[in-house]
Structure 1
Protein backbone atom coordinates (compact mmCIF):
# COMPACT_ATOMS: atom_id res chain seq x y z
CA UNK A 1 0.00 0.00 0.00
CA UNK A 2 1.39 3.46 -0.88
CA UNK A 3 2.59 5.32 2.24
CA UNK A 4 0.14 8.19 1.74
CA UNK A 5 -2.81 5.78 1.82
CA UNK A 6 -1.59 4.34 5.12
CA UNK A 7 -1.32 7.84 6.54
CA UNK A 8 -4.82 8.62 5.28
CA UNK A 9 -6.23 5.55 7.01
CA UNK A 10 -4.44 6.45 10.24
CA UNK A 11 -5.75 10.02 10.05
CA UNK A 12 -9.35 8.87 9.55
CA UNK A 13 -9.17 6.51 12.51
CA UNK A 14 -7.62 9.24 14.64
CA UNK A 15 -10.53 11.54 13.79
CA UNK A 16 -13.05 8.90 14.89
CA UNK A 17 -11.15 8.56 18.15
CA UNK A 18 -11.40 12.29 18.78
CA UNK A 19 -15.11 12.41 18.00
CA UNK A 20 -15.74 9.50 20.37
CA UNK A 21 -14.50 11.74 23.19
CA UNK A 22 -17.10 14.44 22.48
CA UNK A 23 -19.29 15.29 25.46
CA UNK A 24 -17.35 13.09 27.88
CA UNK A 25 -15.34 15.76 29.65
CA UNK A 26 -12.09 14.35 28.28
CA UNK A 27 -9.13 16.74 28.24
CA UNK A 28 -6.69 17.16 25.36
CA UNK A 29 -4.35 14.43 26.61
CA UNK A 30 -7.23 11.97 26.84
CA UNK A 31 -8.35 12.91 23.33
CA UNK A 32 -4.87 12.24 21.96
CA UNK A 33 -4.76 8.86 23.70
CA UNK A 34 -8.13 7.84 22.27
CA UNK A 35 -7.09 8.97 18.80
CA UNK A 36 -3.79 7.09 18.96
CA UNK A 37 -5.22 3.78 20.20
CA UNK A 38 -7.94 3.97 17.54
CA UNK A 39 -5.39 4.59 14.80
CA UNK A 40 -2.74 2.02 15.76
CA UNK A 41 -4.46 -0.43 18.11
CA UNK A 42 -5.48 -3.00 15.50
CA UNK A 43 -2.13 -2.98 13.72
CA UNK A 44 -0.32 -3.32 17.04
CA UNK A 45 -2.29 -6.44 18.00
CA UNK A 46 -1.63 -7.87 14.53
CA UNK A 47 2.12 -7.30 14.75
CA UNK A 48 2.31 -8.77 18.26
CA UNK A 49 0.46 -11.89 17.05
CA UNK A 50 2.79 -12.19 14.05
CA UNK A 51 5.92 -11.54 16.09
CA UNK A 52 6.74 -8.57 13.86
CA UNK A 53 9.35 -6.47 15.64
CA UNK A 54 9.20 -3.59 16.09
CA UNK A 55 5.48 -2.96 15.59
CA UNK A 56 4.63 -0.83 12.59
CA UNK A 57 4.22 2.55 14.32
CA UNK A 58 7.58 2.18 16.09
CA UNK A 59 9.25 1.12 12.86
CA UNK A 60 7.65 4.08 11.10
CA UNK A 61 7.21 6.92 13.65
CA UNK A 62 5.71 9.22 11.01
CA UNK A 63 2.49 7.23 11.38
CA UNK A 64 2.30 8.25 15.03
CA UNK A 65 2.99 11.87 14.11
CA UNK A 66 0.15 11.78 11.56
CA UNK A 67 -2.28 10.38 14.13
CA UNK A 68 -1.37 12.95 16.80
CA UNK A 69 -1.37 15.95 14.47
CA UNK A 70 -4.71 14.89 12.98
CA UNK A 71 -6.17 14.46 16.46
CA UNK A 72 -4.93 17.88 17.53
CA UNK A 73 -6.35 19.55 14.42
CA UNK A 74 -9.68 17.77 14.86
CA UNK A 75 -9.82 18.80 18.52
CA UNK A 76 -9.51 22.45 17.46
CA UNK A 77 -11.79 22.32 14.41
CA UNK A 78 -14.57 20.39 16.16
CA UNK A 79 -14.96 23.23 18.65
CA UNK A 80 -16.09 25.57 15.85
CA UNK A 81 -17.47 23.35 13.09
CA UNK A 82 -19.66 20.27 13.13
CA UNK A 83 -18.22 17.61 10.84
CA UNK A 84 -20.73 16.08 8.36
CA UNK A 85 -21.53 12.57 9.59
CA UNK A 86 -21.94 11.13 6.10
CA UNK A 87 -18.52 12.34 4.96
CA UNK A 88 -16.92 10.85 8.07
CA UNK A 89 -18.70 7.52 7.53
CA UNK A 90 -17.37 7.32 3.97
CA UNK A 91 -13.85 8.17 5.07
CA UNK A 92 -14.07 5.65 7.90
CA UNK A 93 -15.21 2.96 5.44
CA UNK A 94 -12.13 3.70 3.31
CA UNK A 95 -9.91 3.40 6.38
CA UNK A 96 -11.55 0.11 7.35
CA UNK A 97 -11.02 -1.30 3.85
CA UNK A 98 -7.37 -0.32 3.68
CA UNK A 99 -6.38 -1.45 7.18
CA UNK A 100 -8.17 -4.80 6.81
CA UNK A 101 -6.42 -5.70 3.58
CA UNK A 102 -3.06 -4.46 4.86
CA UNK A 103 -3.47 -6.75 7.88
CA UNK A 104 -4.34 -9.76 5.75
CA UNK A 105 -1.51 -9.01 3.31
CA UNK A 106 1.09 -8.74 6.07
CA UNK A 107 -0.12 -12.02 7.59
CA UNK A 108 0.35 -13.82 4.28
CA UNK A 109 3.82 -12.31 3.96
CA UNK A 110 4.60 -13.98 7.30
CA UNK A 111 3.51 -17.33 5.80
CA UNK A 112 0.35 -17.62 7.89
CA UNK A 113 -2.62 -19.71 6.76
CA UNK A 114 -5.57 -18.17 4.96
CA UNK A 115 -7.87 -18.28 7.99
CA UNK A 116 -5.26 -16.57 10.17
CA UNK A 117 -4.78 -13.91 7.49
CA UNK A 118 -8.52 -13.23 7.45
CA UNK A 119 -8.73 -13.04 11.24
CA UNK A 120 -5.72 -10.74 11.58
CA UNK A 121 -7.00 -8.62 8.72
CA UNK A 122 -10.29 -8.05 10.51
CA UNK A 123 -8.47 -7.40 13.80
CA UNK A 124 -6.32 -4.79 12.07
CA UNK A 125 -9.43 -3.08 10.75
CA UNK A 126 -11.66 -3.07 13.84
CA UNK A 127 -9.63 -3.64 17.03
CA UNK A 128 -8.58 -0.01 17.42
CA UNK A 129 -12.21 1.05 17.58
CA UNK A 130 -12.97 -1.69 20.11
CA UNK A 131 -10.18 -0.48 22.40
CA UNK A 132 -11.44 3.10 22.03
CA UNK A 133 -14.99 2.17 23.02
CA UNK A 134 -13.84 0.07 25.98
CA UNK A 135 -11.84 3.04 27.25
CA UNK A 136 -15.00 5.13 26.86
CA UNK A 137 -16.95 2.48 28.80
CA UNK A 138 -19.29 1.73 25.91
CA UNK A 139 -20.39 -1.40 24.08
CA UNK A 140 -17.94 -1.44 21.15
CA UNK A 141 -19.49 0.06 18.04
CA UNK A 142 -18.61 -2.99 15.98
CA UNK A 143 -20.95 -5.15 18.13
CA UNK A 144 -24.01 -2.89 17.78
CA UNK A 145 -26.70 -3.60 15.20
CA UNK A 146 -26.91 0.03 14.09
CA UNK A 147 -23.30 -0.15 12.88
CA UNK A 148 -24.47 -1.96 9.71
CA UNK A 149 -22.07 -4.75 8.71
CA UNK A 150 -18.83 -3.19 9.91
CA UNK A 151 -16.79 -6.27 10.84
CA UNK A 152 -18.88 -8.39 8.47
CA UNK A 153 -17.83 -6.27 5.49
CA UNK A 154 -14.20 -6.49 6.63
CA UNK A 155 -14.47 -10.28 6.91
CA UNK A 156 -16.02 -10.77 3.47
CA UNK A 157 -13.49 -8.49 1.80
CA UNK A 158 -10.60 -10.16 3.59
CA UNK A 159 -11.82 -13.60 2.51
CA UNK A 160 -12.14 -12.38 -1.08
CA UNK A 161 -8.57 -11.07 -1.01
CA UNK A 162 -7.10 -14.25 0.49
CA UNK A 163 -8.95 -16.48 -1.99
CA UNK A 164 -7.74 -14.43 -4.95
CA UNK A 165 -4.20 -14.39 -3.57
CA UNK A 166 -4.12 -18.15 -3.00
CA UNK A 167 -6.11 -19.54 -5.91
CA UNK A 168 -6.12 -16.87 -8.62
CA UNK A 169 -2.56 -15.52 -8.80
CA UNK A 170 -3.15 -14.30 -12.35
CA UNK A 171 -5.77 -11.79 -11.16
CA UNK A 172 -4.10 -8.35 -10.93
CA UNK A 173 -4.22 -6.34 -7.71
CA UNK A 174 -6.18 -8.71 -5.45
CA UNK A 175 -5.65 -6.29 -2.57
CA UNK A 176 -7.44 -3.51 -4.42
CA UNK A 177 -10.32 -5.87 -5.19
CA UNK A 178 -10.58 -6.79 -1.51
CA UNK A 179 -10.65 -3.11 -0.53
CA UNK A 180 -13.39 -2.37 -3.06
CA UNK A 181 -15.48 -5.28 -1.76
CA UNK A 182 -15.22 -3.98 1.82
CA UNK A 183 -15.91 -0.39 0.82
CA UNK A 184 -18.96 -1.20 -1.32
CA UNK A 185 -20.44 -3.56 1.27
CA UNK A 186 -19.97 -1.06 4.07
CA UNK A 187 -21.43 1.85 2.10
CA UNK A 188 -24.35 -0.24 0.83
CA UNK A 189 -25.08 -1.40 4.39
CA UNK A 190 -25.14 2.23 5.57
CA UNK A 191 -27.46 3.33 2.76
CA UNK A 192 -29.88 0.40 2.94
CA UNK A 193 -29.41 -0.34 6.66
CA UNK A 194 -28.30 -3.95 6.24
CA UNK A 195 -27.62 -5.69 9.53
CA UNK A 196 -27.13 -9.16 10.95
CA UNK A 197 -29.84 -10.75 13.13
CA UNK A 198 -29.72 -9.61 16.76
CA UNK A 199 -29.42 -12.19 19.53
CA UNK A 200 -32.66 -12.24 21.52
CA UNK A 201 -33.00 -15.03 24.06
CA UNK A 202 -36.48 -16.31 25.01
CA UNK A 203 -35.37 -17.10 28.56
Structure 2
Protein backbone atom coordinates (compact mmCIF):
# COMPACT_ATOMS: atom_id res chain seq x y z
CA UNK A 1 0.00 0.00 0.00
CA UNK A 2 1.00 3.63 -0.49
CA UNK A 3 0.35 6.54 1.83
CA UNK A 4 -2.56 8.56 0.46
CA UNK A 5 -2.81 12.33 0.87
CA UNK A 6 -5.56 13.61 3.12
CA UNK A 7 -8.50 14.90 1.09
CA UNK A 8 -10.24 18.20 1.93
CA UNK A 9 -13.36 17.85 4.08
CA UNK A 10 -15.60 19.26 1.36
CA UNK A 11 -14.38 16.62 -1.10
CA UNK A 12 -15.08 13.84 1.41
CA UNK A 13 -18.63 15.14 1.86
CA UNK A 14 -19.16 15.50 -1.88
CA UNK A 15 -17.93 11.98 -2.57
CA UNK A 16 -20.24 10.62 0.13
CA UNK A 17 -23.18 12.37 -1.56
CA UNK A 18 -22.13 11.04 -4.97
CA UNK A 19 -21.74 7.55 -3.51
CA UNK A 20 -25.27 7.74 -2.11
CA UNK A 21 -26.58 8.86 -5.49
CA UNK A 22 -24.78 5.90 -7.05
CA UNK A 23 -26.48 3.59 -4.56
CA UNK A 24 -29.83 5.17 -5.43
CA UNK A 25 -29.40 4.85 -9.20
CA UNK A 26 -28.37 1.20 -8.98
CA UNK A 27 -31.13 0.53 -6.45
CA UNK A 28 -33.73 1.98 -8.83
CA UNK A 29 -32.42 -0.30 -11.57
CA UNK A 30 -32.86 -3.24 -9.19
CA UNK A 31 -36.44 -2.33 -8.32
CA UNK A 32 -37.30 -1.67 -11.97
CA UNK A 33 -35.98 -5.10 -12.89
CA UNK A 34 -38.05 -6.60 -10.07
CA UNK A 35 -41.13 -4.87 -11.49
CA UNK A 36 -40.38 -6.14 -14.98
CA UNK A 37 -39.95 -9.68 -13.64
CA UNK A 38 -43.19 -9.27 -11.63
CA UNK A 39 -41.53 -9.86 -8.27
CA UNK A 40 -43.34 -8.85 -5.09
CA UNK A 41 -42.40 -5.86 -2.92
CA UNK A 42 -39.96 -7.92 -0.85
CA UNK A 43 -38.18 -8.98 -4.03
CA UNK A 44 -38.04 -5.38 -5.17
CA UNK A 45 -36.50 -4.22 -1.89
CA UNK A 46 -34.01 -7.09 -1.96
CA UNK A 47 -32.89 -6.34 -5.51
CA UNK A 48 -32.65 -2.63 -4.67
CA UNK A 49 -30.33 -3.31 -1.75
CA UNK A 50 -28.33 -5.92 -3.67
CA UNK A 51 -27.79 -3.71 -6.72
CA UNK A 52 -27.18 -0.54 -4.75
CA UNK A 53 -24.85 -1.85 -2.06
CA UNK A 54 -23.27 -4.99 -3.55
CA UNK A 55 -20.37 -3.34 -5.36
CA UNK A 56 -19.39 -1.13 -2.44
CA UNK A 57 -19.50 -3.99 0.05
CA UNK A 58 -17.23 -6.15 -2.13
CA UNK A 59 -14.82 -3.21 -2.55
CA UNK A 60 -14.67 -2.52 1.18
CA UNK A 61 -14.12 -6.19 2.02
CA UNK A 62 -11.22 -6.39 -0.43
CA UNK A 63 -9.71 -3.19 0.98
CA UNK A 64 -10.09 -4.86 4.39
CA UNK A 65 -12.20 -2.13 5.94
CA UNK A 66 -13.28 -3.05 9.48
CA UNK A 67 -16.95 -2.64 8.56
CA UNK A 68 -18.13 -1.90 4.99
CA UNK A 69 -19.57 1.59 4.55
CA UNK A 70 -22.98 0.12 3.73
CA UNK A 71 -23.20 -1.28 7.28
CA UNK A 72 -21.25 1.40 9.13
CA UNK A 73 -23.26 4.40 7.92
CA UNK A 74 -27.08 4.24 8.21
CA UNK A 75 -27.37 6.80 5.39
CA UNK A 76 -26.64 3.99 2.93
CA UNK A 77 -29.93 2.30 3.84
CA UNK A 78 -32.00 5.26 2.67
CA UNK A 79 -31.41 5.19 -1.15
CA UNK A 80 -32.47 1.53 -1.67
CA UNK A 81 -35.57 2.00 0.49
CA UNK A 82 -36.45 5.18 -1.41
CA UNK A 83 -35.89 3.49 -4.77
CA UNK A 84 -38.18 0.58 -3.93
CA UNK A 85 -40.83 3.02 -2.70
CA UNK A 86 -40.72 5.14 -5.88
CA UNK A 87 -41.06 2.08 -8.10
CA UNK A 88 -43.85 0.65 -5.92
CA UNK A 89 -45.93 3.81 -6.30
CA UNK A 90 -45.06 3.98 -10.03
CA UNK A 91 -43.27 7.28 -9.67
CA UNK A 92 -40.40 5.75 -11.67
CA UNK A 93 -41.54 3.62 -14.59
CA UNK A 94 -42.97 5.46 -17.62
CA UNK A 95 -43.71 2.80 -20.18
CA UNK A 96 -40.30 2.16 -21.69
CA UNK A 97 -39.14 0.22 -18.67
CA UNK A 98 -36.05 -1.24 -20.32
CA UNK A 99 -34.75 2.18 -21.35
CA UNK A 100 -35.43 3.66 -17.91
CA UNK A 101 -33.57 0.78 -16.27
CA UNK A 102 -30.65 1.28 -18.64
CA UNK A 103 -30.35 4.99 -17.82
CA UNK A 104 -30.36 4.43 -14.05
CA UNK A 105 -27.90 1.57 -14.41
CA UNK A 106 -25.56 3.73 -16.52
CA UNK A 107 -25.75 6.54 -13.95
CA UNK A 108 -24.88 4.16 -11.13
CA UNK A 109 -22.00 2.72 -13.14
CA UNK A 110 -20.63 6.21 -13.85
CA UNK A 111 -20.70 7.30 -10.21
CA UNK A 112 -19.45 4.06 -8.69
CA UNK A 113 -16.44 3.51 -10.95
CA UNK A 114 -15.16 6.96 -9.91
CA UNK A 115 -16.03 6.90 -6.20
CA UNK A 116 -14.88 3.28 -5.93
CA UNK A 117 -11.49 4.09 -7.42
CA UNK A 118 -11.11 7.13 -5.21
CA UNK A 119 -12.03 5.12 -2.08
CA UNK A 120 -9.40 2.52 -2.93
CA UNK A 121 -6.75 5.19 -3.58
CA UNK A 122 -7.61 6.98 -0.33
CA UNK A 123 -7.12 3.67 1.49
CA UNK A 124 -3.57 3.47 0.13
CA UNK A 125 -4.15 0.93 -2.64
CA UNK A 126 -1.72 1.12 -5.57
CA UNK A 127 -3.20 2.99 -8.59
CA UNK A 128 -3.45 -0.06 -10.89
CA UNK A 129 -5.19 -2.19 -8.24
CA UNK A 130 -7.39 0.79 -7.36
CA UNK A 131 -8.57 0.84 -10.99
CA UNK A 132 -9.62 -2.82 -10.71
CA UNK A 133 -11.48 -2.09 -7.48
CA UNK A 134 -13.18 0.88 -9.13
CA UNK A 135 -14.38 -1.35 -11.95
CA UNK A 136 -15.55 -3.96 -9.45
CA UNK A 137 -17.48 -1.31 -7.51
CA UNK A 138 -19.18 -0.27 -10.74
CA UNK A 139 -20.13 -3.67 -12.13
CA UNK A 140 -20.61 -6.07 -9.20
CA UNK A 141 -23.92 -4.63 -8.00
CA UNK A 142 -25.46 -4.91 -11.45
CA UNK A 143 -23.98 -8.39 -11.88
CA UNK A 144 -25.53 -9.62 -8.63
CA UNK A 145 -28.85 -7.96 -9.50
CA UNK A 146 -29.08 -9.68 -12.87
CA UNK A 147 -27.92 -13.10 -11.67
CA UNK A 148 -30.44 -13.15 -8.82
CA UNK A 149 -33.22 -12.05 -11.20
CA UNK A 150 -32.20 -14.77 -13.68
CA UNK A 151 -31.24 -12.23 -16.36
CA UNK A 152 -28.20 -12.20 -18.63
CA UNK A 153 -25.85 -9.82 -16.75
CA UNK A 154 -25.28 -6.52 -18.53
CA UNK A 155 -21.54 -7.09 -18.35
CA UNK A 156 -22.03 -10.04 -20.73
CA UNK A 157 -24.60 -8.34 -22.97
CA UNK A 158 -23.33 -8.09 -26.54
CA UNK A 159 -25.44 -4.99 -27.23
CA UNK A 160 -23.18 -2.28 -25.85
CA UNK A 161 -20.13 -1.96 -23.64
CA UNK A 162 -20.37 -2.17 -19.86
CA UNK A 163 -17.05 -2.97 -18.22
CA UNK A 164 -15.12 -0.88 -20.75
CA UNK A 165 -16.75 2.45 -19.75
CA UNK A 166 -16.15 1.52 -16.09
CA UNK A 167 -12.51 0.76 -16.85
CA UNK A 168 -12.21 4.08 -18.69
CA UNK A 169 -13.66 6.00 -15.75
CA UNK A 170 -11.61 4.17 -13.14
CA UNK A 171 -8.40 4.59 -15.13
CA UNK A 172 -8.97 8.28 -15.68
CA UNK A 173 -9.83 8.81 -12.00
CA UNK A 174 -6.62 7.06 -10.96
CA UNK A 175 -4.61 9.20 -13.37
CA UNK A 176 -6.18 12.42 -12.08
CA UNK A 177 -5.45 11.35 -8.50
CA UNK A 178 -1.82 10.58 -9.37
CA UNK A 179 -1.48 14.00 -11.01
CA UNK A 180 -3.06 15.58 -7.90
CA UNK A 181 -5.89 17.15 -9.91
CA UNK A 182 -8.75 14.96 -8.67
CA UNK A 183 -11.45 17.31 -7.39
CA UNK A 184 -15.22 17.80 -7.59
CA UNK A 185 -15.01 19.25 -11.10
CA UNK A 186 -12.73 16.63 -12.65
CA UNK A 187 -14.63 13.82 -10.89
CA UNK A 188 -17.93 15.15 -12.26
CA UNK A 189 -16.54 15.38 -15.78
CA UNK A 190 -15.30 11.79 -15.64
CA UNK A 191 -18.71 10.60 -14.43
CA UNK A 192 -20.49 12.39 -17.25
CA UNK A 193 -18.05 10.92 -19.77
CA UNK A 194 -18.62 7.38 -18.48
CA UNK A 195 -22.40 7.88 -18.50
CA UNK A 196 -22.34 9.10 -22.10
CA UNK A 197 -19.88 6.37 -23.14
CA UNK A 198 -22.17 3.65 -21.75
CA UNK A 199 -25.37 4.98 -23.36
CA UNK A 200 -23.76 5.70 -26.73
CA UNK A 201 -22.17 2.25 -26.83
CA UNK A 202 -25.57 0.69 -26.16
CA UNK A 203 -27.36 2.80 -28.75
CA UNK A 204 -24.73 2.13 -31.41
CA UNK A 205 -24.28 -1.49 -30.31
CA UNK A 206 -20.54 -1.21 -29.84
CA UNK A 207 -19.00 -4.49 -28.71
CA UNK A 208 -15.70 -5.72 -27.35
CA UNK A 209 -13.69 -8.29 -29.39
CA UNK A 210 -14.88 -11.88 -29.17
CA UNK A 211 -13.16 -14.25 -26.75
CA UNK A 212 -11.74 -16.21 -29.71
CA UNK A 213 -10.24 -14.23 -32.57
CA UNK A 214 -12.14 -14.61 -35.83
CA UNK A 215 -15.26 -16.16 -34.31
CA UNK A 216 -18.65 -14.80 -35.38
CA UNK A 217 -20.79 -12.59 -33.11
Task: With the length of structure 1 as denominator, give the TM-score of the two structures.
Answer: 0.86
Aligned match of 2:180: 169
Does 2:67 match 1:44?
no
Does 2:206 match 1:194?
yes
Instruction: Give distance in 1, aligned partners of 2:36 and 2:54.
Output: 23
Equivalent residues of 2:28, 2:104 under 8 A apart: no
Give 5+ residue unaligned stretches, structure 2.
Answer: 1-13
| CA shift for structure 1 position 16 | 0.8
Which shows bigger deviation, 64-73 or 112-121?
64-73
Does 2:59 match 1:59?
no
Aligned match of 2:167: 155
| CA shift for structure 1 position 33 | 0.6
Query: Within 5 A, what are the aligned runs for 1:56-135?
Result: 56-77=69-90, 81-82=94-95, 85-135=98-148
Change (3 A) 1:4 1:20: same
Does 2:32 match 1:30?
no
Aligned match of 2:195: 183
Equivalent residues of 2:20, 2:76 under 8 A apart: yes
Change (3 A) 1:188 1:81: closer
Change (3 A) 1:132 1:86: closer
| CA shift for structure 1 position 25 | 4.4
Which shows bigger deviation, 132-141 or 93-102?
132-141
Equivalent residues of 2:113, 2:138 under 8 A apart: yes
Q: Render the CA deviation track for 1:16-67: whole Å, top value 9, x for unaligned.
A: 1112223534221111111110000000000000011221111221221221
Change (3 A) 1:36 1:181: same
Give 5+ residue unaligned stretches, structure 1.
Answer: none
Equivalent residues of 1:165, 1:174 under 8 A apart: no
| CA shift for structure 1 position 119 | 0.7
Number of residue pairs aligned between Structure 1 and Structure 2: 200
SS in 1 for 2:206: coil
Change (3 A) 1:62 1:132: same
